[in-house]
Amino acid sequence: MSTPPAQTSDERRQRQREEARRTILDAAEDLLVSAGFERFSMRKLAARCGYTPPTIYHYFDDKSGLLDALVEERMSEAVEAFRRVRLGPDAVENLRLLFGAFAAWGTANPTHYELLTVHRQRAEALAAGEEARALLDQPVTALHEAGRLRADLETSRQAFWALVHGLISLRRSRPDVDWAPDLTERAIDAMIDGLVVPEPR
């Protein structure tokens, strides 16, 4: 039975860097979920992950860079979920499915969604966030090109975004409310009825 080749010193250092980065990110996520953004600090993170603040800053330039890396990971998962949606020739159904998937992701990841939309301080866009936006834009753009939107393209984009943002944010800010289980589906359908011209029979 052959033995695996021994790792080189460079490979060991790379593996150690990846393990340290993973440990820091996991600890940051746990701290954010348990304490919230307002009580998150690098000092608390250092105590939780076992690495000193200088070590954390070695892997992430600053607090914003660390949180961006965390949100980027979760947004990449959202993109994968969007790509798994089985799209067809009906742009309205594609819109319904994709924005429903977006609402589901934001509801399942409220802390990361809040970081992305409320607390993020950097102007440059996250790569996964831009990819997610492009996927969500596709059915709206298709309806615009088919002449089926009652409003201009940008207004329609903003309207659907505002709707889903409100659905996600309300659930996070008012967990005491007994929200209807089919609220997301009914709200998206109502928006479609208001903004999309029915296809001629």
Structure confidence by residue, pLDDT tens digits, 69-125: 988 888 898 899 999 999 999 999 999 999 999 999 999 988 888 888 877 766 678
pTM, 2 dp: 0.83
C-alpha neighbours within 13 Å on the C-beta side of residue 136 = 22
Whether residue 121 is contained in a domain is answered as yes
Q: What pLDDT shows up at residue 121?
A: 66
Task: Tell me the CA end-to-end span of the chain in Å, nearest whole number.
Answer: 69
Q: What pLDDT shows up at residue 44?
A: 94
Count of domains for the chain: 2
Q: What's the CATH code of the domain at 7?
A: 1.10.10.60
**Which of the residues in the chain have pLDDT under 70?**
1-7, 121-123
Whether residue 84 is contained in a domain is answered as yes
Whether residue 66 is contained in a domain is answered as no
Q: What pLDDT shows up at residue 87?
A: 92
Neighbouring CB atoms inside 10 A of 74's CB total: 19
Q: What pLDDT shows up at residue 117?
A: 83
**Under 8 Å CB-to-CB from 75, ≥6 apart: which residues?**
112, 116, 126, 128, 129, 132
Q: What pLDDT shows up at residue 61?
A: 86
